[in-house]
Structure 1
């Protein structure tokens, strides 16, 4: 990697660290320059706007999430099993890396035109993940099922995604724990309770697993 490329990556590294430790509101060009030990104007060579910088940081988040998805489904062969593994990885990532997770799904960044020549819009990092969800939803459906009564796979995938996003956000706020009883009277650990919620969401959108 060239020195210029190395500096660009170092600036993104600093941005990622800031997002994870202090949230996306802390990420500014001047602060990143200060922490990277370069002049205040240096980041402008690579990121002409604040949104361009945030987009580059968020892209790292999607790369990380994609790698976790690959690990989660390794050895899982059924579409339903893969969806459940992806769902758990998604909620787990959201809770572990809250600042990055919130940044990644900012629509103003996802829908913005590329700020740097030769680089695609950030949404191009998101749509393949969603299409994969929709493909798995389609494969989960029974071949002899009543297709006319079912929503298109993309609609069901969007509803499923929304439910998982809601679990992640409400769990992070403590709302679900309150609703379910915190501390739980049965002694069930938090991870297990979240997994039960994820299973209930899959059942609601896809139907129960055939016995």
Structure 2
């Protein structure tokens, strides 16, 4: 087999893209550096220039997932404007959309989040979570949430609800056509539960 030529940095990106596809299609257990190399047409030793072992590749894949999620959440919040309700809806829609069809990768991300602090994924996870937490904390400081509401508890509630929706969606329990309305209903419930004062008056 003739080894393909990759410009500097391209092989690492190609490996991560192929690894993500493999995890989505076959699960984490089936991921193999040797098989990734074979699929990309490079020598079996080539991936080790970027990832010394399978664990390093998985950590990098989890980090990439959190980096992407964080970027999408930040972009959605910025586009939503100053309203807490609009921002929360943007966060919910973005999170559910990101997880659609990629739950094996999301599960890897959450598993890697609890890895050793020397791993890259936990730091990337904190950066991604910081986006919605900042929105909730700002709403709390601005008096847009009920008095006595703990921002950390509110953030956990939001993530629990959104991740639960993601699991149901990817498990086929929610039809794709019903997802937008279901997300809106969930956000309505979160706004009510958080005592949001940004809801439009009746």
TM over 0.5: same fold?
yes
Instruction: Quote how far apart the aligned CAs of 1:54 are.
Output: 0.9
Summarize the alignment of residues 162-181 of structure 1 with structure 2, pairs less than 5 Å apart. 162-175=160-173, 177=174
Instruction: Report the equivalent of 1:97.
Output: 102
Q: Deviations over 1:63-95 (max 9, x none)?
A: 332332244231422233112201111012112
Instruction: Report the equivalent of 1:117.
Output: none
Summarize the alignment of residues 1-211 of structure 1 with structure 2, pairs less than 5 Å apart. 3-73=7-77, 74-107=79-112, 110-114=114-118, 121-141=120-140, 143=143, 147=147, 149-151=148-150, 153-175=151-173, 177=174, 189-207=178-196, 209-210=198-199, 211=201
Instruction: Report the equivalent of 1:185.
Output: none
Residue 55 of structure 2 aligns to a residue in which SS?
helix
Counterparts of 1:145 and 1:21 in 2: how far apart (Å)? Answer: 42
Q: Which runs of 5+ in 1 are unaligned?
A: 115-119, 183-187
Runs of 4+ in 1 over 4 A off after TM superposition: 144-147
Please give the TM-score of this superposition, normalised by the length of structure 1. Answer: 0.76
Number of aligned residue pairs: give it.
192
Residue 106 of structure 1 aligns to a residue in which SS?
helix
Q: CA separation of 1:22/1:202 partners in 2, compared to 1, >3 Å: closer, same or farther? A: farther
Q: Which runs of 5+ in 2 are unaligned?
A: 1-5
What is the alpha-carbon root mean square deviation over aligned residues? 2.8
Instruction: Report the equivalent of 2:3.
Output: none
Whether contact under 8 Å (2:70, 2:129) holds in the other structure is: no
